[in-house]
Structure 1
Amino acid sequence: MSEQIQVVGAAILDSLEHPARLLVARRTAPEQFAGLWEFPGGKVEAGEVCEAALHRELKEELGVGVRLGAELPAGTPEGWRLNERASMRVWQAEVTEGEPHPLEDHDELRWVALADQQAVLELPWIPADFPIVQALLDVLSSPVLHSRTR
């Protein structure tokens, strides 16, 4: 049995305190995910703490530094199940340094308005990310839940 792969991702918001937009990234590879949207992030390397891995990945993929907010509750310590071999932990984040650009693994970045939840959900998401998007929108639209994330 192979070891589980830990992945980290960021729900990058225009503001952690008063989020109005979400930054989404369109994949270029692998082939089955090319053209689909996702949360930017990547694999945690051996001996690396998840939060440190997320900071590293966002610098490599987008050229930005971020402030991390609350982790999106997934129900398990490993996070959201992506497939039989990998799980992803996702944090809310806000850009604090740099301007996001698709430097690695993506060909387009887009800010989407959170007020139009249907438009967010209608993007062609990587299938494993879709339930995470739904959970994020639920957290952000609930005043009680959102106040707990700060």
Structure 2
Amino acid sequence: MGSFVKLVLVAACALVDADGRVLITERPAGKALAGLWEFPGGKVEAGERPEETLIRELAEELGIVVKEACLAPLTFASHTYADFQLLMPLWICRRWEGLAQGREGQRLAWVRPSKLRDYPMPPADEPLIPVIVDIVGSGGVGLP
């Protein structure tokens, strides 16, 4: 038996626009891993389902309304940090209401999947890129 590891569950979303670009957001100054780019989402709170977390976080962070039916499970990342284990399921979403804006002062970028590697990301986000490239491709054909 290994020592006890704190497990942190973070739900993330690959928002894909009509042009097949994916939204990433910059972690603001003062947060851990500040300046790195990530897929939007957040920590799953006690008593919350990951889909509910995403809907809440996307509204808080970006000011958009996402319906649960428009979230499709895509893949997940598991990454060992020094003091916790991060488990991050990633959903894909192509339909939402409203215009995504950085409501917490964070910068946003709509990026072609093939260009995601041009943005420095936390180590947990990097393994998600090839899956997004496979599904979204360059033309945006793939999952609903």
TM-score between both structures, scaled by the size of structure 1:
0.77
SS in structure 2 of the partner of residue 53 of structure 1: helix
The answer as to whether partners of 2:20 and 2:136 remain within 8 angstroms in 1 is: no
Paired residues for 1:32-111 under 5 Å: 32-67=32-67, 68-73=70-75, 79-83=76-80, 84-104=84-104, 107-111=106-110
Instruction: Tell me which stretches of 4 or more aligned residues in structure 1 moved more than 3 Å.
Output: 29-32
Higher strand share: 1
Could you give the per-residue CA deviations for residues 84-121 of structure 1, whole angstroms, max 9, x where no partner exists? 422101100135222111123x520011124xx1x222
Higher helix share: 1
How far apart are the structure 2 equivalents of 1:30 and 1:2? 25
Give the drift of 1:2: 4.9
- Count of aligned residue pairs for this structure pair: 135
The runs of 5 or more residues in structure 1 that have no matched partner are: 74-78
The answer as to whether partners of 1:4 and 1:87 remain within 8 angstroms in 2 is: yes
How far apart are the structure 2 equivalents of 1:133 and 1:12? 13
After superposition, the Cα gap between the structure-2 partners of 1:66 and 1:88, relative to the gap in structure 1 and judged at 3 Å, is: same
The answer as to whether partners of 1:64 and 1:95 remain within 8 angstroms in 2 is: no
TM-score between both structures, scaled by the size of structure 2:
0.80
Percent of aligned pairs with the same residue? Answer: 37
The runs of 5 or more residues in structure 2 that have no matched partner are: none
RMSD: 2.4
How far apart are the structure 1 equivalents of 2:31 and 2:47? 29
Letter of the aligned partner of 1:52 in structure 2?
E
Letter of the aligned partner of 2:108 in structure 1?
L
The answer as to whether partners of 2:14 and 2:39 remain within 8 angstroms in 1 is: yes
